[in-house]
């Protein structure tokens, strides 16, 4: 398999790529969808389609370059690195935050954090996945009754491994910085934080056992042999609109109805039952973007000025550490119109501070970010999250 980066010059070339996308027999996997001439399109192509796709692009004079020459080499290296660090972890009996882990290993670390920092960390189960795996949320709290709270989730798209890895590093950071970092300490003295490290556990296990590039849930689709729903097209916000597919075989299949996926429904129920969530922050990869609503429509949200300024402040905090540059804007103006996304739902539900992060990188490795970049990614992401959380703390509504 190869990954190509395609540069379109105009609408017409974008439409040619959308035509290519509709040819199912090519089995293309778009890492970045064709939407506007301003954005590059990254696509993974199975070996037996590579020649056909290149011929198609060349015949239409569309420019492309090879991002990843041989994907298998990158996959093999990732697997090898994981096995090596697993062995090292076993011998030292400690959790290595700088490597990718299995679901079981992540879940064991959640338990470890809840026992090591039992003064502020507890583990809640908010539901079960389609394949009956528990959905665990870590609650960071210094007491009080139903305090205003911040929601953070990661790994809703299972192949975005740096998000689950960053989330578990962030969990440790929050737990160990309480009482040491004055800003975080004052935050937790007023508010709670809820962190869902693996939103789509079935998909995540599948990326380890079967197909590293799997994105969706693993639910069965009636009347189709294709499995899974894109959980970030399944929320009740402009559900079924543009930028989501009605084809169960598509990677952005929206599902039969809003909240059909138990993973999405469990989060919605938790947030509604809590009743005092003030910020909804979700981690994706890749592209280095920080986005606020809307995605299902292209109009500005009521709080546009505040969200944009806060997004820019957070991006500047992120950049302050390693120089990683993030683009800030609404989903529709930054990437493309996409309906049924989580932050559109949370914003329309009344959670003003709703943001989606797209973490590293900008396409050199895409979803296959080397494990050596996990901790730097988590560190800079934490600075962005913290900037937003401080603003939420200081601006109650």
Question: What residues have CB less than 8 Å from 160, skipping those under 6 apart?
Answer: 283, 284, 285, 286, 359, 367
Question: What residues have CB less than 8 Å from 262, skipping those under 6 apart?
Answer: 127, 128, 129, 130, 219
Per-residue pLDDT, 39 = 86
Name the active-site residue from 13, 109, 261, 358.
Answer: 358
Question: Measuring CA to CA, how many Å separate 182 from each of 191, 310, 331, 386?
Answer: 14, 21, 33, 12
Radius of gyration in angstroms for the set of CA atoms belonging to the chain, rounded to a whole number: 20
* 40 neighbors 6 (Cβ within 8 angstroms): yes
Q: Tell me phi and psi for residue 161, to 5 degrees.
A: -55, -30
Residue with tokens 């609404």: 330
Using the Cα atoms of residue 199, residue 201, residue 202 and residue 205 in order, give the sign of their dihedral.
positive
Percent composition of the chain: helix, strand, coil (DSSP 3-state, to 5): 40, 20, 40
Residue 221 DSSP one-character state: P
Q: Tell me phi and psi for residue 311, to 5 degrees.
A: -60, -40
Per-residue pLDDT tens digits for 212-257: 999 999 999 999 999 999 999 999 999 999 999 999 999 999 999 9
* 331 neighbors 342 (Cβ within 8 angstroms): no
Nearest one of 105, 142, 93 to 122, comparing CA atoms: 142
Here the tokens at position 38 are: 């301003």
Here the tokens at position 182 are: 């004055």
Instruction: Compute the distance between CA of residue 282 and CA of residue 156 in angstroms, rounded to an integer.
Output: 9
178: number of CA atoms within 13 Å, CB side?
20
pTM of the model: 0.96
User: In DSSP terms, which residues pair with 387 in a beta bridge?
Assistant: none
* 271 neighbors 143 (Cβ within 8 angstroms): no
Question: What residues have CB less than 8 Å from 256, skipping those under 6 apart?
Answer: 221, 222
Catalytic: 358? yes
3-state class of 195 per DSSP?
strand
Residue with tokens 């737990």: 175
The secondary element (H helix, E strand) that includes residue 13 is helix 11-21
Per-residue pLDDT, 22 = 87
Angle at 111 between CA 342 and CA 176, to 5 degrees: 80
Per-residue pLDDT, 101 = 96
Q: Which stretches in the chain have pLDDT values below 70?
A: none
Per-residue pLDDT tens digits for 346-397: 999 999 999 999 999 999 999 999 999 999 999 999 999 999 999 999 999 9
Strands 149-154 and 277-285: parallel
Per-residue pLDDT, 24 = 86
Nearest one of 206, 265, 205, 213 to 234, comparing CA atoms: 265
């Amino acid at each position: 398999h190869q990954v190509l980066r395609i540069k379109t010059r105009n609408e017409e070339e974008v439409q040619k790529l959308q035509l290519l996308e509709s040819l199912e027999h090519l089995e293309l996997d778009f890492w970045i969808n064709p939407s506007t001439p301003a954005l590059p399109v990254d696509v993974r192509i199975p070996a037996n389609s590579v020649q056909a796709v290149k011929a198609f692009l060349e015949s239409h004079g569309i420019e492309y370059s090879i991002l990843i020459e041989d994907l298998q080499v990158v996959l093999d290296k990732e697997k090898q690195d994981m096995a090596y660090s697993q062995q090292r972890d076993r011998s030292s009996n400690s959790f290595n935050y700088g490597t990718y882990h299995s679901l079981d290993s992540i879940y064991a670390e959640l338990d470890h954090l809840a026992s090591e920092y039992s003064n502020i960390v507890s583990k809640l189960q908010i539901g079960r996945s389609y394949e009956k795996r528990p959905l665990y949320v870590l609650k960071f709290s210094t007491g009080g009754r139903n305090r205003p709270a911040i929601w953070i989730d990661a790994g809703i798209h299972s192949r975005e491994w740096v998000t689950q890895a960053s989330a578990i590093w962030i969990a440790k950071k929050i737990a160990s910085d309480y009482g040491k970092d004055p800003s975080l300490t004052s935050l937790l003295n007023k508010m709670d934080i809820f962190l869902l490290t693996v939103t789509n556990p079935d998909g995540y296990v599948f990326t380890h056992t079967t197909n590293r590039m799997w994105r969706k849930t693993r639910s069965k689709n009636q009347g189709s042999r294709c499995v899974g729903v894109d959980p970030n097209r399944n929320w009740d916000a402009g559900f079924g609109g543009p930028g989501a597919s009605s084809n169960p075989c598509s990677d952005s299949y929206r599902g039969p109805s809003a909240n059909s996926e138990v993973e999405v429904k469990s989060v919605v129920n938790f947030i509604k039952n809590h009743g005092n969530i003030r910020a909804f922050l979700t981690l994706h990869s890749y592209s280095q973007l920080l986005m606020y609503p809307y995605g299902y429509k292209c109009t500005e949200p009521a709080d546009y000025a505040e969200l944009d300024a806060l997004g820019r402040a957070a991006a500047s905090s992120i950049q302050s550490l390693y120089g990683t540059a993030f683009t800030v804007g609404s989903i529709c103006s930054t990437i493309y119109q996409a309906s049924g996304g989580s932050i559109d739902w949370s914003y329309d539900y009344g959670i003003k501070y709703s943001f989606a992060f797209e973490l590293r990188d900008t396409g050199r490795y895409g979803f296959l970010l080397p494990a050596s970049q996990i901790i730097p990614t988590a560190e800079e992401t934490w600075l962005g999250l913290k900037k937003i959380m401080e603003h939420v703390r200081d601006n109650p509504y």
